Amino acid sequence: MKNLIITLSLLLFSYTTIAQNKNAKTIIEVDGVCGMCKARIEKAAFSVKGVKSAVWSEETKHLSLIFDERKTNIKSICQTIADAGHDTKMVEATEEAYQSIHECCKYREEEVVKEHKKKS
């Protein structure tokens, strides 16, 4: 009986670690310009079930993620962020979603980007 439990748990363990990581960790690039963008991006990420940690850096545009691969995947997260109006490498925001974000966050506009660079 003991042996069985050991083999079973071993098998299950190796199975889950290879296939689907409970704490998958990655970094993706998300376009944005300011603190308001940061809140919007992180909020969007957290709205996806299974996302445990999301930290976006205004400086590097990197969004560091930790999420449960059994519940979600990177593409769904990117899609949700794009739906909130922010471009990722995998999914671009639709014009409609992009227009919904605040004027000062319009990261595709060169003027806006310049303005934020000046401030910082």
Partner 1 sequence: MKFKHILNLIFLLGFTLHTQGQNTLKGIVLEKIDGKDEPLYGANVFWLNQNIGRVTNENGEFSIPYQSNYKKLVITYVGYQTDTLVISNTNKIKHYLRPEAELDEVTITTRRQSLSRSFLSSENKINVSSDELLKAACCNLSESFETNPSIDVNFADAISGTRQIKMLGLSSPYIMITTENIPTIRGANQTNGMSFIPGTWVESIQITKGAGSVVNGYESITGQINAELQKPSMDHPLFVNAYAGINGRLELNTHVNQKLSEKWHTGLYLHGNQRTEKFDRNDDGFLDIPLKQQINILNRWQYSNSEKGIISFINFNYVNDNTQSGQVDFNPNRDKLTTNAWGSESDTERFETSLKIGYVNPDIPYQSLGFQTDFSYHDQSSYFGLRRYDIRQTSFYSNLIYNTIISDSRHKVKTGLTFMYDDYDELVDETNFARIDNSIGGFFEYAFDNLTNLSLTAGIRADQHNRLGFFVTPRFHLRYTPWSKSALRFSFGRGKRASNIFSENHNLFASNRQINILNSNDDIYGLAPEIAWNYGISYLQGFNLFGQKGDFTLDFYRTDFENQVIVDWETPSEINFFNLNGSSFSNVFQLEMNYELLERLDLRSAYKYFDVQSDYLNGRLQKPLIPRHRLFLNMGYSTASKDNASQWKFDLTYNWLSEQRYPDTSLNPIQFQLPQETPTVGTLNAQVTRVFSDKFEIYIGGENITNVRQDNPILGAENPFGSNFDSNFVYGPIFGYMYYAGLRFKLTKIKNK
Asked if 92 is part of the footprint of partner 1 (rule: CB under 8 A), the reply reads no
CA proximity to 84, closest of 120, 41, 27: 41
Number of residues that bind partner 1 (CB under 8 A): 42
46 near partner 1, judged by CB under 8 A? yes
DSSP 57: -
Q: Binding residue for partner 1 (CB under 8 A) from 13, 43, 100, 108?
A: 43
Shortest CB 66 distance to partner 1, Å: 6
Distance linking the first and last C-alpha atoms of the chain: 65
CA distance 74 to 98: 20
DSSP 86: -
Write out the two tokens for 73: 């995947």
- Point out which residues bind partner 1 (CB under 8 A): 1, 3-4, 7-8, 11, 15, 17-21, 23-29, 38-39, 42-43, 46, 51-55, 59-60, 62, 66, 69, 73-76, 79, 89-90, 120
